Amino acid sequence: ALSAADAGLLAQSWAPVFANSAANGDSFLVALFTQFPESANFFNDFKGKSLADIQASPKLRDVSSRIFARLNEFVSNAADAGKMGSMLQQFATEHAGFGVGSAQFQNVRSMFPGFVASLSAPAGDAAWNSLFGLIISALQSAGK
Ligand code: HEM
């Protein structure tokens, strides 16, 4: 889990992003697929599609809203070691089952502070780095 201080910084950085979660969730996925185009191929709905087609797809919102809802749970429970332990394990098992591993989340970790900054939300780079570090470790423990 994160320290209470880092969890607080995360909550401050996340609040304005999640306040407009539909549009910002879409922007997050588009930013990820722009910087790491191969990421899109993990999703059945996006595999082999151009970025323009993905942006026009009604599936974009379905996928981005699931991601943002789960990120919100991680941020809300970031300092709770018990909840984080079970959430991380479930998350890693689920994503490993989709063929997604630590490399994909190293990509997310590298672009997330820039994404937050692009929305003029408060920075929390070290805290985001720690949160995605927990996810990366959980995936590595799951063998991915
Ligand atoms: C599915 C969350 C990043 C690939 C899901 C689901 C959630 C989720 C909640 C739905 C699980 C279900 O309903 O069974 C997240 C969060 C992420 C993240 C919080 C943090 C940024 C990624 C990344 C990739 C990825 C970086 C791949 C590059 C997938 C795939 C599925 C999935 C392939 C299966 C369903 C589908 O094809 O839409 N994710 N995810 N996720 N995720 Fe992630």
Does the model's pTM come out above 0.90? yes
- Both tokens assigned to 133: 């570090």
DSSP state for residue 122 in the 8-state scheme:
P
* Nearest protein Cα to ligand 1, atom 36: 43
Q: What is the 3-state secondary structure (H, E, C) of 83-107?
A: HHHHHHHHHHHHHHHCCCCHHHHHH
120 lines ligand 1 (CB under 6 A): no
83-132 confidence digits (pLDDT tens): 999 999 999 999 999 999 999 999 999 999 999 999 999 999 999 999 99
39 lines ligand 1 (CB under 6 A): yes
53-66 confidence digits (pLDDT tens): 999 999 999 999 99
Q: What is the ipTM of this complex?
A: 0.97
Cα–Cα distance list, 82 to 4, 90, 97 (Å): 14, 13, 23
> What whole-number percentage of the chain has pLDDT above 90?
100
Q: Which parts of the chain fold into alpha helices (H)?
A: 4-19, 21-35, 51-56, 59-76, 81-97, 102-118, 125-141
Q: Which of the four pLDDT bands, split at 50, 70 and 90, describes residue 48?
A: very high
